[in-house]
Amino acid sequence: MANYIIEGDTGPWELVIGLEVHAQVTSNAKLFSGAATSFGAEPNAQVSLVDAAMPGMLPVVNGECVKQAVRTGLALGAEIHRWSRFDRKNYFYADLPQGYQISQLYHPIVGEGALEVQADEKNPDSAVRSIGIERIHLEQDAGKLIHDQHPTMSYVDLNRSGVALMEIVSKPDMRSPEEAGAYVKKLRSILRYVGSCDGNMEEGSMRADVNVSVRKANAPFGTRCEIKNVNSVRFIQAAIEYEARRQIEVLEGGGAIVQETRLFDPDRGETRSLRSKEDAHDYRYFPDPDLLPIELSDEFLSECRDSLPELPDAKRARYAGLGVSAYNAAVLTAEVETARYFDAALDALARPELANDAANWVVAELFGALNRIGANVEASPVAPAQAASLLRLVADGTLSKTLAKQVAEVMFETGGDPEKIVEERGLRQTSDTGAIEAVIAQVLAANETKVAEYRGGKDKLFGFFVGQTMKAMAGKGNPAVVNELLKKALG
Ligand code: ADP
Ligand code: MG
Protein backbone atom coordinates (compact mmCIF):
# COMPACT_ATOMS: atom_id res chain seq x y z
CA MET A 1 0.00 0.00 0.00
CA ALA A 2 1.20 3.49 -0.80
CA ASN A 3 1.98 5.60 2.24
CA TYR A 4 -0.99 7.33 3.77
CA ILE A 5 -0.54 11.05 3.36
CA ILE A 6 -2.50 14.08 4.50
CA GLU A 7 -2.15 17.07 2.16
CA GLY A 8 -1.61 20.28 4.08
CA ASP A 9 -1.16 23.85 2.80
CA THR A 10 2.61 23.31 2.93
CA GLY A 11 2.52 19.94 1.18
CA PRO A 12 2.18 16.31 2.25
CA TRP A 13 2.41 15.09 5.88
CA GLU A 14 3.04 11.56 7.09
CA LEU A 15 1.48 10.03 10.23
CA VAL A 16 3.36 8.15 12.95
CA ILE A 17 1.29 6.06 15.33
CA GLY A 18 2.11 3.88 18.34
CA LEU A 19 -0.46 2.07 20.48
CA GLU A 20 -0.47 1.06 24.12
CA VAL A 21 -3.21 -1.56 24.38
CA HIS A 22 -4.58 -2.52 27.78
CA ALA A 23 -5.99 -6.02 27.69
CA GLN A 24 -7.77 -7.50 30.69
CA VAL A 25 -6.29 -10.90 31.42
CA THR A 26 -8.76 -13.78 31.33
CA SER A 27 -8.52 -15.29 34.80
CA ASN A 28 -10.95 -16.24 37.55
CA ALA A 29 -9.07 -14.18 40.12
CA LYS A 30 -7.30 -10.83 40.28
CA LEU A 31 -3.57 -10.25 39.79
CA PHE A 32 -2.71 -10.23 43.49
CA SER A 33 -5.87 -11.48 45.24
CA GLY A 34 -8.43 -14.28 45.05
CA ALA A 35 -11.39 -11.97 44.36
CA ALA A 36 -13.55 -12.81 41.34
CA THR A 37 -13.36 -10.85 38.07
CA SER A 38 -16.64 -11.50 36.25
CA PHE A 39 -18.13 -8.58 34.33
CA GLY A 40 -21.33 -6.87 35.47
CA ALA A 41 -21.36 -7.97 39.12
CA GLU A 42 -23.04 -5.80 41.78
CA PRO A 43 -20.74 -2.89 42.70
CA ASN A 44 -18.13 -3.84 45.31
CA ALA A 45 -19.21 -7.50 45.32
CA GLN A 46 -15.77 -8.65 44.14
CA VAL A 47 -13.38 -6.86 46.44
CA SER A 48 -10.98 -8.61 48.78
CA LEU A 49 -9.15 -6.89 51.62
CA VAL A 50 -6.11 -6.72 49.34
CA ASP A 51 -8.07 -4.92 46.60
CA ALA A 52 -9.43 -2.46 49.16
CA ALA A 53 -5.85 -1.92 50.38
CA MET A 54 -6.57 -2.63 54.02
CA PRO A 55 -3.51 -2.04 56.18
CA GLY A 56 -1.27 -5.06 56.52
CA MET A 57 -2.64 -6.92 53.50
CA LEU A 58 -0.03 -8.52 51.28
CA PRO A 59 -0.30 -9.19 47.54
CA VAL A 60 0.34 -12.72 46.22
CA VAL A 61 0.94 -13.01 42.50
CA ASN A 62 -1.62 -15.09 40.57
CA GLY A 63 0.29 -17.68 38.53
CA GLU A 64 -2.51 -17.95 36.00
CA CYS A 65 -2.11 -14.27 35.04
CA VAL A 66 1.63 -14.75 34.64
CA LYS A 67 0.95 -17.73 32.42
CA GLN A 68 -1.49 -15.76 30.26
CA ALA A 69 1.03 -12.94 29.77
CA VAL A 70 3.75 -15.42 28.78
CA ARG A 71 1.42 -17.29 26.41
CA THR A 72 0.49 -13.96 24.82
CA GLY A 73 4.16 -13.05 24.45
CA LEU A 74 4.91 -16.40 22.81
CA ALA A 75 1.97 -15.96 20.43
CA LEU A 76 3.45 -12.61 19.36
CA GLY A 77 6.83 -14.19 18.79
CA ALA A 78 8.21 -12.00 21.57
CA GLU A 79 11.21 -12.41 23.80
CA ILE A 80 10.14 -13.83 27.20
CA HIS A 81 12.07 -12.44 30.12
CA ARG A 82 12.96 -15.25 32.50
CA TRP A 83 13.35 -12.67 35.28
CA SER A 84 10.93 -9.83 35.79
CA ARG A 85 9.84 -7.63 38.66
CA PHE A 86 6.97 -5.46 39.88
CA ASP A 87 7.29 -1.75 40.59
CA ARG A 88 5.05 0.68 42.41
CA LYS A 89 3.74 3.61 40.41
CA ASN A 90 2.68 6.13 43.03
CA TYR A 91 -0.17 8.56 42.56
CA PHE A 92 -3.23 9.67 44.47
CA TYR A 93 -6.68 9.14 43.07
CA ALA A 94 -9.99 8.13 44.64
CA ASP A 95 -10.30 4.97 42.52
CA LEU A 96 -6.91 3.72 43.73
CA PRO A 97 -7.12 2.79 47.43
CA GLN A 98 -3.47 1.68 47.65
CA GLY A 99 -2.15 5.07 46.56
CA TYR A 100 -0.03 3.25 43.99
CA GLN A 101 -0.50 0.90 41.07
CA ILE A 102 1.61 -2.24 40.94
CA SER A 103 3.07 -2.37 37.43
CA GLN A 104 6.29 -3.34 35.68
CA LEU A 105 8.36 -0.41 34.47
CA TYR A 106 11.98 -1.52 34.58
CA HIS A 107 11.73 -5.27 34.02
CA PRO A 108 8.61 -6.25 32.04
CA ILE A 109 7.79 -9.93 31.69
CA VAL A 110 7.77 -9.80 27.86
CA GLY A 111 10.17 -7.92 25.60
CA GLU A 112 10.26 -7.29 21.85
CA GLY A 113 8.02 -9.06 19.37
CA ALA A 114 6.09 -8.27 16.21
CA LEU A 115 2.72 -8.53 14.58
CA GLU A 116 2.13 -8.98 10.84
CA VAL A 117 -0.60 -6.66 9.69
CA GLN A 118 -2.44 -6.20 6.43
CA ALA A 119 -3.97 -2.73 6.31
CA ASP A 120 -6.09 -3.47 3.27
CA GLU A 121 -7.89 -6.50 4.71
CA LYS A 122 -10.40 -6.79 1.88
CA ASN A 123 -7.56 -7.50 -0.50
CA PRO A 124 -5.61 -10.64 0.50
CA ASP A 125 -2.83 -9.81 -1.95
CA SER A 126 -2.13 -6.39 -0.44
CA ALA A 127 1.09 -5.63 1.40
CA VAL A 128 1.79 -7.20 4.78
CA ARG A 129 3.72 -5.03 7.24
CA SER A 130 5.41 -6.04 10.43
CA ILE A 131 4.53 -3.83 13.42
CA GLY A 132 7.03 -4.02 16.25
CA ILE A 133 5.96 -4.80 19.80
CA GLU A 134 8.09 -2.98 22.34
CA ARG A 135 7.05 -4.89 25.45
CA ILE A 136 4.20 -6.45 27.40
CA HIS A 137 3.95 -5.89 31.11
CA LEU A 138 1.53 -6.94 33.81
CA GLU A 139 -0.23 -4.39 35.98
CA GLN A 140 -3.31 -3.86 38.13
CA ASP A 141 -6.42 -2.08 36.97
CA ALA A 142 -7.93 0.67 39.13
CA GLY A 143 -11.50 0.94 40.46
CA LYS A 144 -14.27 2.96 38.87
CA LEU A 145 -15.77 6.27 40.00
CA ILE A 146 -19.43 7.00 39.29
CA HIS A 147 -20.39 10.67 39.36
CA ASP A 148 -23.72 10.86 37.62
CA GLN A 149 -26.14 8.89 39.79
CA HIS A 150 -26.75 11.50 42.49
CA PRO A 151 -26.39 15.29 42.19
CA THR A 152 -24.20 15.70 45.26
CA MET A 153 -22.39 12.40 45.62
CA SER A 154 -19.75 10.32 43.90
CA TYR A 155 -19.55 6.55 44.23
CA VAL A 156 -16.66 4.18 43.97
CA ASP A 157 -16.87 0.61 42.67
CA LEU A 158 -13.75 -1.41 43.43
CA ASN A 159 -14.74 -4.55 41.49
CA ARG A 160 -12.15 -3.72 38.84
CA SER A 161 -9.53 -2.73 41.40
CA GLY A 162 -6.66 -5.20 41.18
CA VAL A 163 -7.86 -6.96 38.02
CA ALA A 164 -4.87 -8.07 35.91
CA LEU A 165 -4.08 -6.10 32.76
CA MET A 166 -1.51 -6.76 30.10
CA GLU A 167 -0.18 -3.55 28.64
CA ILE A 168 0.95 -4.30 25.13
CA VAL A 169 3.11 -1.44 23.84
CA SER A 170 3.78 -1.15 20.12
CA LYS A 171 6.68 0.62 18.48
CA PRO A 172 5.82 3.80 16.58
CA ASP A 173 5.56 1.69 13.42
CA MET A 174 2.06 2.41 12.15
CA ARG A 175 1.52 4.96 9.38
CA SER A 176 -2.23 5.20 8.80
CA PRO A 177 -5.54 4.93 10.64
CA GLU A 178 -6.31 1.76 8.65
CA GLU A 179 -3.04 0.18 9.70
CA ALA A 180 -3.72 1.01 13.35
CA GLY A 181 -7.20 -0.49 13.00
CA ALA A 182 -5.81 -3.62 11.38
CA TYR A 183 -3.21 -3.91 14.16
CA VAL A 184 -5.84 -3.74 16.89
CA LYS A 185 -8.08 -6.26 15.10
CA LYS A 186 -5.21 -8.66 14.57
CA LEU A 187 -4.04 -8.29 18.15
CA ARG A 188 -7.57 -8.84 19.41
CA SER A 189 -7.90 -11.92 17.22
CA ILE A 190 -4.66 -13.42 18.57
CA LEU A 191 -5.58 -12.69 22.20
CA ARG A 192 -8.92 -14.43 21.64
CA TYR A 193 -7.29 -17.46 19.98
CA VAL A 194 -4.84 -17.68 22.87
CA GLY A 195 -7.65 -17.15 25.38
CA SER A 196 -5.67 -14.60 27.36
CA CYS A 197 -8.23 -11.78 26.90
CA ASP A 198 -11.86 -11.93 25.78
CA GLY A 199 -11.27 -8.88 23.54
CA ASN A 200 -14.61 -7.37 24.46
CA MET A 201 -13.98 -3.71 23.67
CA GLU A 202 -17.51 -2.63 24.58
CA GLU A 203 -17.06 -3.95 28.11
CA GLY A 204 -13.65 -2.31 28.32
CA SER A 205 -11.68 -5.58 28.33
CA MET A 206 -9.51 -4.05 25.64
CA ARG A 207 -8.76 -0.35 25.23
CA ALA A 208 -5.98 1.64 23.67
CA ASP A 209 -3.91 4.72 24.40
CA VAL A 210 -3.24 6.13 20.95
CA ASN A 211 0.00 8.05 20.31
CA VAL A 212 0.00 10.23 17.21
CA SER A 213 2.51 12.56 15.62
CA VAL A 214 3.01 13.99 12.13
CA ARG A 215 6.10 14.76 10.10
CA LYS A 216 7.29 15.66 6.63
CA ALA A 217 8.58 12.77 4.53
CA ASN A 218 11.88 11.38 5.91
CA ALA A 219 11.98 13.97 8.71
CA PRO A 220 12.66 12.82 12.28
CA PHE A 221 9.60 11.91 14.37
CA GLY A 222 7.53 14.86 15.54
CA THR A 223 6.26 15.49 19.05
CA ARG A 224 3.40 13.14 19.87
CA CYS A 225 0.13 13.47 21.72
CA GLU A 226 -1.40 10.55 23.54
CA ILE A 227 -5.15 9.97 23.36
CA LYS A 228 -6.23 7.99 26.40
CA ASN A 229 -8.53 5.00 26.71
CA VAL A 230 -10.13 4.69 23.29
CA ASN A 231 -12.38 1.65 23.25
CA SER A 232 -13.32 0.79 19.69
CA VAL A 233 -11.49 0.31 16.42
CA ARG A 234 -13.69 2.91 14.76
CA PHE A 235 -12.96 5.47 17.48
CA ILE A 236 -9.22 4.73 17.35
CA GLN A 237 -9.22 5.46 13.62
CA ALA A 238 -11.36 8.56 13.99
CA ALA A 239 -9.17 9.86 16.83
CA ILE A 240 -6.00 9.40 14.76
CA GLU A 241 -7.49 11.15 11.74
CA TYR A 242 -8.74 14.09 13.80
CA GLU A 243 -5.58 14.40 15.86
CA ALA A 244 -3.28 14.31 12.83
CA ARG A 245 -5.26 17.06 11.11
CA ARG A 246 -5.27 19.14 14.28
CA GLN A 247 -1.49 18.83 14.61
CA ILE A 248 -0.95 19.75 10.97
CA GLU A 249 -3.09 22.84 11.42
CA VAL A 250 -1.10 23.88 14.49
CA LEU A 251 2.24 23.31 12.76
CA GLU A 252 1.24 25.05 9.54
CA GLY A 253 -0.05 27.98 11.57
CA GLY A 254 3.47 28.40 12.93
CA GLY A 255 2.76 26.75 16.29
CA ALA A 256 4.41 23.81 18.01
CA ILE A 257 2.93 20.58 19.32
CA VAL A 258 3.16 20.23 23.08
CA GLN A 259 3.38 16.68 24.33
CA GLU A 260 0.12 16.12 26.15
CA THR A 261 -2.57 13.67 27.07
CA ARG A 262 -5.86 14.11 25.25
CA LEU A 263 -9.34 12.59 25.33
CA PHE A 264 -11.40 11.48 22.34
CA ASP A 265 -15.01 12.62 22.37
CA PRO A 266 -16.91 10.18 20.14
CA ASP A 267 -20.02 12.38 20.00
CA ARG A 268 -18.11 15.29 18.50
CA GLY A 269 -15.45 13.21 16.77
CA GLU A 270 -12.66 15.36 18.23
CA THR A 271 -9.83 15.15 20.75
CA ARG A 272 -9.48 17.54 23.69
CA SER A 273 -6.56 18.34 25.92
CA LEU A 274 -6.63 16.61 29.31
CA ARG A 275 -3.23 17.48 30.76
CA SER A 276 0.09 18.61 29.40
CA LYS A 277 3.51 17.16 30.13
CA GLU A 278 4.26 20.10 32.48
CA ASP A 279 1.74 18.89 35.01
CA ALA A 280 2.61 15.25 34.36
CA HIS A 281 2.91 13.13 37.48
CA ASP A 282 6.15 12.18 39.05
CA TYR A 283 5.25 8.58 39.80
CA ARG A 284 8.27 7.91 42.03
CA TYR A 285 8.58 4.35 40.71
CA PHE A 286 10.39 1.86 42.93
CA PRO A 287 10.48 -1.94 43.19
CA ASP A 288 7.52 -3.26 45.19
CA PRO A 289 9.02 -4.56 48.43
CA ASP A 290 6.01 -6.83 49.07
CA LEU A 291 6.61 -8.96 45.97
CA LEU A 292 9.42 -11.26 44.92
CA PRO A 293 10.68 -11.08 41.35
CA ILE A 294 9.12 -13.55 38.93
CA GLU A 295 11.47 -16.28 37.75
CA LEU A 296 10.22 -18.56 35.02
CA SER A 297 11.31 -22.19 34.94
CA ASP A 298 11.86 -24.28 31.81
CA GLU A 299 8.86 -26.45 32.72
CA PHE A 300 6.64 -23.41 33.09
CA LEU A 301 7.75 -22.06 29.72
CA SER A 302 7.17 -25.34 27.90
CA GLU A 303 3.78 -25.66 29.58
CA CYS A 304 2.91 -22.21 28.22
CA ARG A 305 4.21 -23.11 24.79
CA ASP A 306 2.38 -26.45 24.65
CA SER A 307 -0.90 -24.85 25.62
CA LEU A 308 -0.95 -22.51 22.62
CA PRO A 309 -3.51 -23.26 19.90
CA GLU A 310 -2.87 -23.01 16.18
CA LEU A 311 -2.74 -19.24 15.60
CA PRO A 312 -4.53 -17.29 12.85
CA ASP A 313 -1.56 -16.92 10.46
CA ALA A 314 -0.69 -20.61 10.66
CA LYS A 315 -4.31 -21.58 10.21
CA ARG A 316 -4.64 -19.29 7.23
CA ALA A 317 -1.61 -20.87 5.61
CA ARG A 318 -2.99 -24.36 6.29
CA TYR A 319 -6.36 -23.48 4.71
CA ALA A 320 -4.59 -21.97 1.70
CA GLY A 321 -2.65 -25.23 1.39
CA LEU A 322 -5.97 -27.06 1.13
CA GLY A 323 -6.93 -24.90 -1.83
CA VAL A 324 -9.09 -22.42 0.08
CA SER A 325 -8.98 -19.00 -1.61
CA ALA A 326 -6.89 -16.33 0.10
CA TYR A 327 -9.98 -14.24 0.73
CA ASN A 328 -11.93 -17.10 2.32
CA ALA A 329 -8.93 -18.14 4.41
CA ALA A 330 -8.64 -14.60 5.76
CA VAL A 331 -12.34 -14.39 6.56
CA LEU A 332 -12.46 -17.84 8.18
CA THR A 333 -9.48 -17.25 10.45
CA ALA A 334 -10.27 -13.71 11.62
CA GLU A 335 -12.46 -14.84 14.51
CA VAL A 336 -11.59 -17.90 16.55
CA GLU A 337 -15.23 -19.09 16.66
CA THR A 338 -15.47 -19.10 12.88
CA ALA A 339 -12.22 -21.01 12.55
CA ARG A 340 -13.46 -23.53 15.09
CA TYR A 341 -16.66 -24.04 13.09
CA PHE A 342 -14.78 -24.47 9.84
CA ASP A 343 -12.28 -26.90 11.39
CA ALA A 344 -15.14 -28.99 12.78
CA ALA A 345 -16.86 -29.01 9.38
CA LEU A 346 -13.60 -30.04 7.65
CA ASP A 347 -13.14 -32.86 10.16
CA ALA A 348 -16.68 -34.11 9.64
CA LEU A 349 -16.35 -33.83 5.88
CA ALA A 350 -13.08 -35.78 5.88
CA ARG A 351 -12.50 -34.86 2.24
CA PRO A 352 -9.74 -32.27 2.01
CA GLU A 353 -10.32 -31.87 -1.74
CA LEU A 354 -13.68 -30.28 -0.88
CA ALA A 355 -12.13 -27.70 1.46
CA ASN A 356 -12.70 -24.76 -0.86
CA ASP A 357 -16.31 -25.77 -1.55
CA ALA A 358 -16.78 -25.93 2.20
CA ALA A 359 -15.15 -22.53 2.64
CA ASN A 360 -17.36 -20.99 -0.06
CA TRP A 361 -20.42 -22.43 1.57
CA VAL A 362 -19.53 -21.18 5.05
CA VAL A 363 -18.53 -17.70 3.89
CA ALA A 364 -21.37 -17.12 1.41
CA GLU A 365 -24.33 -19.25 2.54
CA LEU A 366 -23.85 -19.73 6.27
CA PHE A 367 -22.65 -16.20 7.05
CA GLY A 368 -25.44 -14.76 4.91
CA ALA A 369 -28.05 -16.78 6.77
CA LEU A 370 -26.56 -16.01 10.20
CA ASN A 371 -26.64 -12.34 9.28
CA ARG A 372 -30.30 -12.55 8.34
CA ILE A 373 -31.31 -14.29 11.57
CA GLY A 374 -28.90 -12.23 13.67
CA ALA A 375 -27.10 -15.21 15.21
CA ASN A 376 -23.38 -15.75 15.69
CA VAL A 377 -21.64 -18.85 14.42
CA GLU A 378 -21.70 -20.53 17.82
CA ALA A 379 -25.50 -20.39 17.76
CA SER A 380 -25.72 -21.60 14.16
CA PRO A 381 -28.87 -23.67 13.55
CA VAL A 382 -26.73 -25.77 11.20
CA ALA A 383 -24.07 -27.75 13.06
CA PRO A 384 -20.68 -28.28 11.36
CA ALA A 385 -21.40 -31.98 10.79
CA GLN A 386 -24.71 -31.12 9.06
CA ALA A 387 -22.93 -28.61 6.85
CA ALA A 388 -20.51 -31.40 5.95
CA SER A 389 -23.40 -33.75 5.03
CA LEU A 390 -24.91 -31.10 2.78
CA LEU A 391 -21.58 -30.55 1.01
CA ARG A 392 -21.23 -34.28 0.51
CA LEU A 393 -24.69 -34.48 -1.09
CA VAL A 394 -23.60 -31.83 -3.59
CA ALA A 395 -20.26 -33.49 -4.24
CA ASP A 396 -21.84 -36.90 -4.98
CA GLY A 397 -24.45 -35.38 -7.31
CA THR A 398 -27.51 -36.01 -5.14
CA LEU A 399 -28.13 -32.27 -5.02
CA SER A 400 -27.51 -29.55 -7.57
CA LYS A 401 -26.29 -26.20 -6.24
CA THR A 402 -29.82 -24.85 -6.59
CA LEU A 403 -31.36 -27.74 -4.68
CA ALA A 404 -28.64 -27.45 -2.04
CA LYS A 405 -29.72 -23.85 -1.48
CA GLN A 406 -33.29 -25.01 -0.93
CA VAL A 407 -32.19 -27.69 1.52
CA ALA A 408 -30.01 -25.16 3.34
CA GLU A 409 -33.00 -22.81 3.66
CA VAL A 410 -34.89 -25.56 5.46
CA MET A 411 -31.87 -26.32 7.63
CA PHE A 412 -31.49 -22.66 8.63
CA GLU A 413 -35.17 -22.47 9.53
CA THR A 414 -35.76 -25.71 11.33
CA GLY A 415 -32.34 -27.26 11.78
CA GLY A 416 -32.09 -30.94 10.97
CA ASP A 417 -30.21 -33.43 8.91
CA PRO A 418 -29.90 -32.63 5.18
CA GLU A 419 -30.27 -36.27 4.08
CA LYS A 420 -33.55 -36.51 5.88
CA ILE A 421 -34.76 -33.21 4.43
CA VAL A 422 -33.89 -34.43 0.93
CA GLU A 423 -35.88 -37.67 1.46
CA GLU A 424 -38.86 -36.02 3.15
CA ARG A 425 -39.24 -33.29 0.55
CA GLY A 426 -38.22 -35.30 -2.47
CA LEU A 427 -35.49 -32.80 -3.34
CA ARG A 428 -33.15 -35.33 -4.89
CA GLN A 429 -31.65 -34.26 -8.20
CA THR A 430 -32.54 -36.44 -11.16
CA SER A 431 -30.11 -37.50 -13.86
CA ASP A 432 -32.58 -39.97 -15.34
CA THR A 433 -32.15 -39.29 -19.08
CA GLY A 434 -35.51 -40.81 -20.03
CA ALA A 435 -37.42 -38.53 -17.66
CA ILE A 436 -35.45 -35.47 -18.71
CA GLU A 437 -35.89 -36.20 -22.43
CA ALA A 438 -39.65 -36.49 -21.95
CA VAL A 439 -39.78 -33.05 -20.30
CA ILE A 440 -37.58 -31.56 -23.02
CA ALA A 441 -39.90 -32.92 -25.71
CA GLN A 442 -42.83 -31.16 -24.00
CA VAL A 443 -40.95 -27.90 -23.66
CA LEU A 444 -39.91 -27.87 -27.33
CA ALA A 445 -43.42 -28.73 -28.48
CA ALA A 446 -44.87 -25.86 -26.47
CA ASN A 447 -42.40 -23.33 -27.91
CA GLU A 448 -42.23 -24.11 -31.61
CA THR A 449 -41.55 -20.53 -32.77
CA LYS A 450 -38.63 -20.17 -30.35
CA VAL A 451 -37.24 -23.52 -31.49
CA ALA A 452 -37.32 -22.26 -35.06
CA GLU A 453 -35.62 -19.02 -34.08
CA TYR A 454 -32.93 -20.93 -32.22
CA ARG A 455 -32.30 -23.18 -35.15
CA GLY A 456 -32.22 -20.05 -37.31
CA GLY A 457 -29.17 -18.87 -35.34
CA LYS A 458 -30.52 -17.17 -32.22
CA ASP A 459 -28.15 -19.03 -29.86
CA LYS A 460 -29.06 -16.89 -26.91
CA LEU A 461 -32.37 -18.75 -26.63
CA PHE A 462 -30.58 -21.82 -25.25
CA GLY A 463 -30.79 -20.41 -21.73
CA PHE A 464 -34.53 -20.00 -22.16
CA PHE A 465 -34.93 -23.72 -22.90
CA VAL A 466 -32.78 -24.67 -19.93
CA GLY A 467 -34.91 -22.45 -17.70
CA GLN A 468 -38.18 -23.91 -19.02
CA THR A 469 -36.96 -27.48 -18.59
CA MET A 470 -35.72 -26.84 -15.05
CA LYS A 471 -38.97 -25.11 -14.20
CA ALA A 472 -40.99 -28.04 -15.48
CA MET A 473 -38.83 -30.34 -13.33
CA ALA A 474 -39.21 -28.16 -10.21
CA GLY A 475 -35.47 -27.48 -10.26
CA LYS A 476 -34.54 -31.13 -9.86
CA GLY A 477 -32.97 -31.82 -13.22
CA ASN A 478 -29.23 -32.36 -13.14
CA PRO A 479 -28.05 -29.20 -14.94
CA ALA A 480 -25.24 -30.94 -16.78
CA VAL A 481 -27.53 -33.66 -18.11
CA VAL A 482 -30.27 -31.17 -18.99
CA ASN A 483 -27.75 -29.11 -20.96
CA GLU A 484 -26.41 -32.08 -22.83
CA LEU A 485 -29.82 -33.52 -23.73
CA LEU A 486 -31.16 -30.12 -24.80
CA LYS A 487 -28.22 -29.60 -27.14
CA LYS A 488 -28.93 -32.96 -28.66
CA ALA A 489 -32.66 -32.30 -29.02
CA LEU A 490 -32.17 -28.85 -30.55
CA GLY A 491 -29.16 -29.68 -32.67
P1 ADP B 1 6.00 6.76 27.57
O2 ADP B 1 6.71 5.79 28.42
O3 ADP B 1 6.27 8.19 27.87
O4 ADP B 1 4.52 6.47 27.42
P5 ADP B 1 7.08 5.35 25.27
O6 ADP B 1 8.38 5.64 24.64
O7 ADP B 1 6.95 4.11 26.06
O8 ADP B 1 6.65 6.62 26.11
O9 ADP B 1 6.01 5.32 24.13
C10 ADP B 1 4.69 5.12 24.36
C11 ADP B 1 4.01 4.88 23.03
O12 ADP B 1 4.17 6.01 22.18
C13 ADP B 1 4.56 3.71 22.27
O14 ADP B 1 3.48 2.95 21.77
C15 ADP B 1 5.35 4.34 21.16
O16 ADP B 1 5.31 3.55 19.99
C17 ADP B 1 4.61 5.61 20.91
N18 ADP B 1 5.45 6.69 20.38
C19 ADP B 1 6.67 7.07 20.79
N20 ADP B 1 7.12 8.10 20.08
C21 ADP B 1 6.15 8.42 19.18
C22 ADP B 1 6.01 9.43 18.16
N23 ADP B 1 6.96 10.34 17.92
N24 ADP B 1 4.87 9.44 17.44
C25 ADP B 1 3.90 8.54 17.67
N26 ADP B 1 3.98 7.60 18.61
C27 ADP B 1 5.08 7.53 19.36
MG1 MG C 1 2.44 5.93 27.93
The string of DSSP codes covering 152-192 is: T--EEE-TTTT-EEEEEEEPS-B-SHHHHHHHHHHHHHHHH
In this structure, the answer to whether residues 140 and 37 fall within a common structural domain is yes
In this structure, the answer to whether residues 337 and 241 fall within a common structural domain is no
Q: How confident is the model over 240-272, as pLDDT tens digits?
A: 999 999 999 999 999 999 999 999 999 999 999
Question: Considering 372, 393, 425, which residue would you say is the last residue of a domain?
Answer: 425
pLDDT exceeding 70 applies to what percent of the chain? 99
Q: Is 209 in the pocket of ligand 1 (CB under 6 A)?
A: no
Q: What is the pTM of this model?
A: 0.89
Q: Is 103 in the pocket of ligand 1 (CB under 6 A)?
A: no
In this structure, the answer to whether residues 335 and 474 fall within a common structural domain is no
The string of DSSP codes covering 341-361 is: HHHHHHHHH--GGGHHHHHHI
Count of CB atoms within 10 A of residue 344's CB? Answer: 15
Number of domains in the chain: 3
pLDDT exceeding 90 applies to what percent of the chain? 85
Average pLDDT over every residue of 90-105: 96
Provide the domain limits for residue 329: 310-425
In this structure, the answer to whether residues 288 and 338 fall within a common structural domain is no
Q: Is 20 in the pocket of ligand 1 (CB under 6 A)?
A: yes
Whose atoms come closest to the Cα of 135: which ligand? 1
Q: Confirm whether 320 is domain-assigned.
A: yes
- pLDDT confidence band for 50 (50 / 70 / 90): very high
Question: Considering 282, 300, 318, which residue would you say is the last residue of a domain?
Answer: 300
Among 167, 223, 224, 257, say which to mutate for ligand 1: greatest number of ligand atoms within 8 Å of CB: 224
- pLDDT confidence band for 119 (50 / 70 / 90): confident
In this structure, the answer to whether residues 105 and 122 fall within a common structural domain is yes
Q: Confirm whether 39 is domain-assigned.
A: yes
Q: Confirm whether 305 is domain-assigned.
A: no
- pLDDT confidence band for 2 (50 / 70 / 90): low
- pLDDT confidence band for 475 (50 / 70 / 90): confident
- pLDDT confidence band for 120 (50 / 70 / 90): confident
In this structure, the answer to whether residues 275 and 348 fall within a common structural domain is no
Q: Is 247 in the pocket of ligand 1 (CB under 6 A)?
A: no
In this structure, the answer to whether residues 34 and 125 fall within a common structural domain is yes
- The mean of the pLDDT values for the chain is 94
397 — alpha (psi -120 to 50), left (phi > 0) or beta?
left
In this structure, the answer to whether residues 328 and 250 fall within a common structural domain is no
In this structure, the answer to whether residues 369 and 328 fall within a common structural domain is yes
Average pLDDT over every residue of 65-91: 98
In this structure, the answer to whether residues 216 and 237 fall within a common structural domain is yes
pLDDT score, position 280: 65
The answer on pLDDT for 178 being more than 90 is yes
The answer on pLDDT for 1 being more than 70 is no
Average pLDDT over every residue of 154-179: 97
Distance 133 CA to ligand 1 centre (A): 12
In this structure, the answer to whether residues 141 and 177 fall within a common structural domain is yes
Average pLDDT over every residue of 376-395: 95
Average pLDDT over every residue of 98-120: 95
- pLDDT confidence band for 126 (50 / 70 / 90): confident
pLDDT score, position 422: 87
Q: Is 318 in the pocket of ligand 1 (CB under 6 A)?
A: no
Q: Is 64 in the pocket of ligand 1 (CB under 6 A)?
A: no
The answer on pLDDT for 206 being more than 80 is yes
Q: Confirm whether 265 is domain-assigned.
A: yes
Distance 18 CA to ligand 1 centre (A): 6
The closest residue, in CA terms, to atom 14 on ligand 1 is: 18
| Ligand 1 atom index nearest CA of 222 | 23
pLDDT score, position 277: 67
Q: Is 170 in the pocket of ligand 1 (CB under 6 A)?
A: yes
Q: Among 144, 145, 146, 149, which Cα is nearest to 160's?
A: 144
Average pLDDT over every residue of 313-326: 96
In this structure, the answer to whether residues 157 and 241 fall within a common structural domain is yes
pLDDT score, position 278: 63
Question: Considering 278, 300, 322, which residue would you say is the last residue of a domain?
Answer: 300
